[in-house]
């Protein structure tokens, strides 16, 4: 199951995101996506080990709108993947 987290600060590291995600899924995989057109922020693709659509929706809902490291995150469960 995949969640896309957007509006991350450009200085964020994979370790920092893993600390954020580990409270929901300690086995998640993290892929940072840096956008050259918008150097002030980046996105992250989170591959969860959780297989329940309900739980993944809850995780995305909890992350969406969360203020973290001075920014408001945007999180969405991806339908495919």
* Per-residue pLDDT at 51: 87
* Per-residue pLDDT at 74: 97
Question: For the chain, what percentages of helix, strand and coil (3-state, to nearest 5) are there?
Answer: 25, 35, 40
Tokens 């580990």 sit at which residue?
22
* Per-residue pLDDT at 60: 96
Q: Does residue 62 contact residue 4 with C-beta atoms inside 8 Å? A: no
* Per-residue pLDDT at 40: 75
Helix segments in 1-81, DSSP class H = 14-21, 53-63
Per-block average pLDDT, block size 10, for the chain (81 residues)?
92 92 93 79 91 93 95 92 58
* Per-residue pLDDT at 49: 94
- Across 21-35, b (16+ Cβ under 10 Å) vs e yields beebbeebebeeeee
* Per-residue pLDDT at 81: 58
Q: Span 2-76: which CATH code?
A: 3.30.70.330
């Amino acid at each position: 199951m995949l969640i896309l987290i957007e509006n991350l600060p450009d200085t964020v590291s994979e370790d920092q995101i893993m600390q954020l995600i580990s409270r929901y899924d300690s086995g998640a995989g993290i892929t940072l996506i840096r956008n050259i057109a918008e150097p002030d922020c980046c996105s992250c693709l989170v591959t969860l080990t959780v297989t329940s659509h309900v739980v993944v929706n809850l995780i995305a809902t909890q992350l969406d709108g969360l203020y973290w490291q001075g920014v408001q995150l945007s999180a969405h469960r991806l339908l495919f993947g």
